[in-house]
């Protein structure tokens, strides 16, 4: 079989950081080739090299067994290589149709855009992946899941010989993901070659023909998907055995720390009431868009609410901004770490103390750098954040380590209630296990945790109680020890 | 395609609410002035308005593209006299009219190319680059002219600024043509649509294969070229040029574009909106003159209007986002 696209001995370094070592990777025509590995293993860099975003330091990219040099993404696209990037790369102010076609809007001989044709073709590109999003809607007004569908439709709008998808399902609902898989299988049988990057190993096993595992920038194995199982993959990715976390489900018999009564805002969420105790992990399950994040942001003072009240330690409190919430001991770990969580251009140390300035500052509000650094370094060690350097730029860290920095930021603020929203989105298995273990340890030490997650296994394995949301309402409160996945899904999707 | 649908496809799907507000403000202002001053709604005053604000109107076309791309061009107010002086000196020295105009316009476009090239090569925000260009050109203008006006142009040239065609001043015709070209191009042409992509999300534009640097070269060149056209027309209209032309006009131009709904963060804005903004400013300044309001107060009022319109747009936007979620 002839490889359509091949990386031959590719190496790449960013400054002193060697990201890829002599990586060789061959993608065959008419196959789906999964690329797995922990965050920071070099998958995204490899993908960026194959799609012309970066150029390799050494080694070559071969298209149809001929060495090619992609100067920029445009060159790679012109050769039929399409990518779905992990970070949404859409234009919020433009219509769905304009986004799908980007710079290739259908136009006449003089370059004038044919709007009707563009709308129709956009609609059919969306219909192909089973989506009925209005091509005229503004992308900025769509949900994250819908935006992801637009991003996929864009990659498929034009004939692709090679399609590279980086975590395409991280924001998709189950049915949308299923439809995507069907489309990918169709594409495969029509001869396209697909690189599929994902942390969801079940997906990988179901979908792919071949699997390549990257670890620390090296290829540690390539094999047909049917000849490996999930455990072997995880072992290859991590380089060690990962014990499945089995939570201790004895919720402390303490009093309620946070009580929410009848919280409502328009049609976004209605009459949401719940309480969470010290030492308890309360899971929020539900589909994307069921109002969980909105409720959390309202409690935290990041958004307003119309009706209802919030009690902390039995006292009704007024939280008008996140600062109020932090003073009351509430932390909120956002679901969107890059846009709303981290200061990417600042040091890891500055990020860690960002929510606990009063603790590390003098009375005149000058930051004490010794205290700041000591605090930061203590958390770097405790959460095993790599590299263990408080002066490292937060934006340079891998996704898993960024997520840990975010967690450290809130733990440094010593909250009594911590709301964590999708704490392991786009995070590799190793970092995921570490974050899960941290959450359990924190609960064991008396922290009250609200865990919002769209990954059912995560909610099921960590929560003492599970609150299920549907269409802005809290529709069921289940016992974490006895609830089954079916039961949760029935409530969430009814 | 039936004609009605074809028309629908070309018209904006939803007219932005702030623009409706702007149009209403404009109409109210015009109505009030018409009632209070009978000489306001006359052809003669229309001509005064049209010629008085013509340089800013021309420059606002190019500036709209620059602001949509997420940038800014502070140098237009210096490019205007620079081009006018270049043309003036050449004409004064006896160079033929087309050659003088052509050379001056090319020079103005080169300034724009330099702005974009420096900004992308040095990775410096266009605010800084064009600020520097503005200062350099202001100096050059004074050095070249020695601070004295240049005059003595052939009628073939001054006709461009002072002549009329069927009663319509020549500059207004030039402007109408250019505004139409810009409006159609920004809205319907593939190349100019990419400017919205660059302004909306520069990184995504790069990943989508948009040749960002190349497009910005064109955008800034065209913006400076419009300042050049304004300079040539001003020189022709006054029959003389001096380094003092176009003083602070870049601020009025940016004001007009922002009033017209363009966001300085890039990605939004339209020629239609800009035209409304330009018209409102032009009528407002005319109203100031007519009512005898002190020039000191004029800037206070236009500043307050910018704040007001931005505030209104922001509030409307927030409401829309809340109801959409």
Q: Left (φ > 0), alpha (ψ -120 to 50) or beta: where does A98 sit?
A: alpha
- Any idea what DSSP says for residue A31? -
* pLDDT of amino acid B265: 87
Q: Which backbone phi and psi does A354 adopt, to 5 degrees?
A: -60, -35
Rounded to an integer, what distance in angstroms lies between the CA atom of residue A385 and that of residue A382? 8
Preceding peptide of A302 cis, ω within 30°: no
Convert the pLDDT of each residue in A76-96 to its tens digit.
988 999 998 876 788 888 899
Between the alpha carbon of residue A67 and those of residues A25, A183, A210, A418, B324, the distances in Å are 14, 30, 23, 52, 49
Interface confidence, given as ipTM, is 0.71
Answer for the pair A152, A129: CB distance below 8 angstroms, yes or no. Answer: yes
Q: Left (φ > 0), alpha (ψ -120 to 50) or beta: where does B242 sit?
A: beta
* pLDDT of amino acid B14: 55
Strand partners, A316: A311
Rounded to an integer, what distance in angstroms lies between the CA atom of residue A72 and that of residue B210? 10
- Give the number of residues written for chain A: 494
Answer for the pair B81, B231: CB distance below 8 angstroms, yes or no. Answer: yes
Rounded to an integer, what distance in angstroms lies between the CA atom of residue B250 and that of residue B280? 16
Convert the pLDDT of each residue in A335-362 to its tens digit.
888 778 888 888 898 898 888 877 777 7
- The mean per-residue pLDDT over the stretch A160-171 comes to 87
Closest-CA residue to B202 (of B56, B69, B90): B69
Per-residue pLDDT band at A244 (split at 50, 70, 90): very low
Q: Which two tokens stand for residue B224?
A: 């400076």
* CA trace torsion A415, A418, A424, A430 (10° rounding): 50
Predicted confidence (pLDDT) at residue A40 exceeds the cutoff of 80: no
- Give the number of residues written for chain B: 325
CB-CB under 8 Å, B196 with A266: no
- The mean per-residue pLDDT over the stretch A221-244 comes to 76
CB-CB under 8 Å, B200 with A94: yes
Convert the pLDDT of each residue in A107-120 to its tens digit.
888 888 888 999 99
Q: Which backbone phi and psi does B181 adopt, to 5 degrees?
A: -60, -50
Rounded to an integer, what distance in angstroms lies between the CA atom of residue A163 and that of residue A47? 10
Cβ neighbours, 10 Å, residue A322: 16
* Nearest CB to B208; choose among A93, A102, A294: A102
Rounded to an integer, what distance in angstroms lies between the CA atom of residue A255 and that of residue A55? 58
* pLDDT of amino acid B321: 46
Strand partners, A393: A347
Interface of A with B in 44-73 (CB under 8 A): 53, 72-73
- Contact residues, chain B, for A266 at CB < 8 Å: 322-323
Closest-CA residue to B79 (of B311, B324, B271, B250): B250
Interface test with B, best of A47, A77, A102 (most B CBs within 10 A): A102
Interface of B with A in 3-22 (CB under 8 A): 5, 9-10, 13
User: How distant is the Cα of B208 from the closest Cα of chain A, in angstroms?
Assistant: 7
Q: At what angle do helices A174-189 and A144-157 cross, to 10 degrees?
A: 10
- Contact residues, chain A, for B199 at CB < 8 Å: 93
* pLDDT of amino acid B121: 92
User: How distant is the Cα of B190 from the closest Cα of chain A, in angstroms?
Assistant: 5
Strand partners, A222: A212
* Nearest CB to B208; choose among A93, A103, A115: A103
Q: Which two tokens stand for residue A461?
A: 């394995």
Interface of B with A in 132-161 (CB under 8 A): none
Q: Which two tokens stand for residue A382?
A: 């405790």
CB-CB under 8 Å, B209 with A73: yes
Q: What percent of chain A has pLDDT over 70?
A: 95
CA B246 to chain centre: 12
Between the alpha carbon of residue B276 and those of residues A347, B50, B132, B273, the distances in Å are 46, 13, 30, 5
Convert the pLDDT of each residue in A369-405 to its tens digit.
788 888 899 999 998 888 888 888 888 888 888 999 9
Within B201-292, residue ranges assigned H as helices are 202-207, 212-238, 249-259, 271-291
Rounded to an integer, what distance in angstroms lies between the CA atom of residue B84 and that of residue A261? 70
CB-CB under 8 Å, B325 with A103: no
Rounded to an integer, what distance in angstroms lies between the CA atom of residue A287 and that of residue A266? 19
Q: Does A304 touch chain B (CB under 8 A)?
A: no
Q: Does A91 touch chain B (CB under 8 A)?
A: yes
Rounded to an integer, what distance in angstroms lies between the CA atom of residue B197 and that of residue B188? 14
Between the alpha carbon of residue A285 and those of residues A436, B12, B321, the distances in Å are 16, 41, 25
Between the alpha carbon of residue A438 and those of residues A140, A193, A247, A388, B267, the distances in Å are 35, 40, 11, 18, 42
- Any idea what DSSP says for residue A84? E
* Nearest CB to B267; choose among A77, A91, A113: A91
A467-471 own/partner pairs: CB under 8 Å, 24+ apart: A467/A274, A467/A282, A467/A283, A467/A284, A467/A285, A468/A285, A468/A286, A468/A492, A469/A284, A469/A285, A469/A286, A469/A290, A469/A291, A469/A292, A469/A295, A470/A286, A470/A287, A470/A290, A470/A494, A471/A290, A471/A291
User: How distant is the Cα of B45 from the closest Cα of chain A, in angstroms?
Assistant: 38
Predicted confidence (pLDDT) at residue A189 exceeds the cutoff of 70: yes
Q: Parallel, antiparallel, or unpaired for β A315-317 and A307-312?
A: antiparallel
- Beta strand residue intervals within A322-373, DSSP E: 330-333
How is A366-432 classified by DSSP, letter by letter? -B-HHHHHHHHHHHHHHTT-SS--TTSBGGGS-HHHHHHHHHHHHHHT--SEEEEESTTTT--HHHH
* pLDDT of amino acid A231: 81
> Helix-strand-coil percent breakdown of chain A, rounded to 5?
35, 25, 35
Strand partners, A264: A307
Q: Judge residue A242's burial from the number of C-beta atoms within 10 Å of its C-beta, 0-12 exposed, 13-18 middle, 19 or more buried.
A: middle
Shortest CA distance from A92: residue in chain B: B200
- Any idea what DSSP says for residue A129? T
Per-residue pLDDT band at A368 (split at 50, 70, 90): confident
Between the alpha carbon of residue A242 and those of residues A429, A432, A435, B102, B202, the distances in Å are 9, 11, 13, 73, 40
CB-CB under 8 Å, A111 with B190: yes
Convert the pLDDT of each residue in A305-336 to its tens digit.
999 999 999 999 999 989 899 989 999 998 88
Convert the pLDDT of each residue in A251-305 to its tens digit.
556 788 999 999 999 888 999 999 999 999 999 998 777 889 999 999 999 889 9
* pLDDT of amino acid A246: 44
User: How distant is the Cα of A120 from the closest Cα of chain B, in angstroms?
Assistant: 12
| 3-state secondary structure (DSSP) of residue A336 | coil
Within A129-223, residue ranges assigned H as helices are 144-157, 174-189, 201-207
A472-480 own/partner pairs: CB under 8 Å, 24+ apart: A472/A267, A472/A268, A472/A269, A472/A270, A472/A290, A472/A291, A472/A294, A473/A269, A473/A270, A473/A271, A473/A272, A473/A291, A474/A271, A474/A272, A474/A273, A474/A274, A477/A274, A480/A249, A480/A281, A480/A283
CB-CB under 8 Å, B207 with A89: yes
* pLDDT of amino acid A242: 46
* pLDDT of amino acid A248: 54
Q: Does A395 touch chain B (CB under 8 A)?
A: no
Show pLDDT as tens, one digit a residue, over chain B (325 residues): 556 656 555 555 555 666 788 888 899 989 999 999 888 888 888 888 888 899 999 999 999 999 999 999 999 999 999 999 999 999 999 999 999 999 999 999 999 999 999 999 998 999 999 999 999 999 999 999 998 999 889 998 999 988 888 888 899 999 999 999 999 999 888 899 899 999 988 888 888 888 999 999 999 999 999 999 999 999 999 999 999 898 889 999 999 998 888 888 888 899 999 999 999 989 988 888 888 887 778 778 878 877 887 787 777 666 554 443 3
CB-CB under 8 Å, A266 with B267: no
Cβ neighbours, 10 Å, residue B130: 30
Q: Parallel, antiparallel, or unpaired for β B168-169 and B164-165?
A: antiparallel
How is A15-29 classified by DSSP, letter by letter? TTEEEEEEEEEEEET
Between the alpha carbon of residue A89 and those of residues A146, A166, A380, B90, the distances in Å are 13, 12, 31, 50
């Amino acid at each position: 079989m002839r490889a359509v696209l091949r990386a031959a001995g590719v190496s790449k370094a960013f400054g002193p950081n060697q990201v890829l070592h002599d990586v060789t990777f061959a993608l065959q025509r008419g196959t789906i080739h999964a690329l797995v590995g922990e965050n920071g293993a070099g998958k995204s860099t490899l993908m960026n090299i194959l799609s012309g975003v970066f150029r390799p330091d050494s080694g070559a990219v071969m298209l149809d067994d001929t060495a090619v040099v992609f100067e920029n993404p445009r060159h790679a696209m012109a050769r039929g290589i399409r990518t779905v990037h992990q970070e949404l790369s859409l234009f919020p102010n433009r219509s769905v149709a304009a986004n799908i076609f980007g710079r290739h809007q259908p136009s006449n001989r003089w370059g004038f855009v044919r709007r009707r044709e563009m709308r129709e073709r956009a609609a059919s590109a969306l219909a192909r992946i089973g989506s009925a999003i209005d091509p005229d809607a503004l992308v900025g007004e769509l949900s994250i899941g819908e935006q992801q569908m637009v991003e996929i439709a864009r990659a498929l709008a034009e004939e692709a010989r090679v399609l590279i998808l980086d975590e395409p399902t991280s924001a998709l609902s189950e049915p949308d993901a299923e439809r995507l898989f069907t489309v990918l299988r169709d594409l495969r049988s029509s001869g396209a070659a697909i690189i599929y990057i994902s942390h969801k190993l079940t997906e990988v096993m179901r979908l792919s023909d071949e699997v390549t595992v990257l670890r620390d920038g090296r290829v540690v194995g390539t094999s047909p998907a049917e000849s490996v199982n999930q455990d072997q993959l995880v072992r290859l990715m991590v380089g060690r055995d990962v014990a499945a976390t089995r939570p201790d489900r004895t919720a402390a018999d303490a009093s309620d720390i946070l009580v929410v009564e009848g919280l409502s805002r328009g049609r976004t969420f209605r009459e949401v009431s719940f309480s969470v105790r010290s030492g308890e992990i309360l899971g929020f399950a539900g589909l994307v868009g069921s109002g969980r994040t909105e409720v959390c942001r309202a409690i935290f003072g990041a958004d307003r609410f119309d009706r209802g009240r919030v009690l902390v330690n039995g006292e009704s409190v007024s939280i008008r901004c996140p600062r109020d919430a932090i003073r009351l001991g509430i932390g909120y770990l956002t679901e969107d770490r890059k846009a709303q969580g981290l200061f990417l251009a600042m040091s890891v140390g500055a990020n860690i103390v960002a929510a606990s300035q009063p603790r590390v500052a003098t009375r005149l509000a000058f930051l004490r750098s010794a205290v700041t650094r000591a605090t930061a370094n203590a958390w770097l060690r405790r959460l095993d954040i790599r590299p263990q350097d408080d002066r490292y730029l937060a934006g340079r860290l891998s996704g898993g380590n960024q997520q840990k920095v975010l967690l450290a930021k809130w733990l440094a603020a010593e909250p009594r209630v911590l709301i964590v929203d999708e704490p392991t989105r786009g995070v590799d298995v190793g970092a995921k296990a570490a974050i899960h273990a941290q959450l359990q340890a924190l609960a064991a030490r008396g922290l009250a945790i609200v865990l919002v997650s769209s990954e059912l296994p995560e909610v099921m394995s960590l929560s003492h109680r599970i609150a299920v949301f549907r269409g802005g309402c809290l529709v069921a409160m289940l016992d974490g020890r006895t609830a089954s996945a079916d039961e949760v899904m029935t409530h969430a999707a009814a | 395609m039936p004609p009605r649908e074809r028309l629908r496809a070309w018209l904006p799907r939803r007219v932005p609410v702030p623009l409706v507000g702007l149009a209403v403000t404009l109409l109210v202002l015009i109505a009030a002035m018409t009632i209070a001053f009978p000489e306001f709604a006359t052809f003669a005053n229309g001509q005064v308005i049209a010629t008085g604000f013509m340089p800013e109107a021309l420059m606002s076309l190019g500036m709209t593209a620059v602001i949509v791309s997420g940038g800014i061009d502070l140098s237009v107010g210096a490019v205007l006299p620079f081009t006018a002086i270049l043309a003036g000196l050449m004409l004064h020295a006896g160079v033929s009219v087309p050659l003088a105009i052509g050379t001056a316009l090319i020079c103005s476009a080169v300034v724009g190319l330099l702005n974009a090239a420096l900004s992308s090569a040095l990775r410096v925000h266009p605010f800084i680059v064009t600020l520097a260009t503005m200062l350099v050109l202001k100096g050059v203008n004074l050095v070249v002219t020695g601070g004295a006006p240049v005059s003595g142009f052939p009628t073939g040239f001054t006709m461009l600024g002072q002549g009329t065609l069927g009663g319509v001043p020549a500059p207004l015709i030039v402007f109408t043509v250019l505004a139409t070209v810009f409006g159609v191009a920004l809205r319907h042409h593939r190349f100019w649509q990419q400017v919205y992509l660059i302004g909306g999300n520069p990184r995504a534009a790069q990943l989508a294969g948009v040749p960002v640097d190349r497009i910005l070269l064109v955008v800034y060149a065209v913006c400076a070229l419009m300042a050049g056209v304004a300079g040539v027309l001003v020189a022709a209209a006054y029959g003389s040029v001096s380094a003092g032309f176009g003083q602070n006009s870049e601020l009025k131009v940016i004001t007009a574009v922002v009033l017209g709904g363009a966001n300085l963060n890039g990605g939004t804005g339209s020629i239609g909106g800009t035209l409304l903004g330009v018209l409102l400013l032009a009528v407002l300044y005319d109203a100031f003159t007519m009512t005898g309001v002190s020039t000191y107060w004029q800037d206070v009022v236009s500043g307050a209007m910018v704040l007001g319109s931005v505030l209104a747009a922001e509030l409307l936007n927030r409401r829309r986002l809340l109801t959409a979620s």
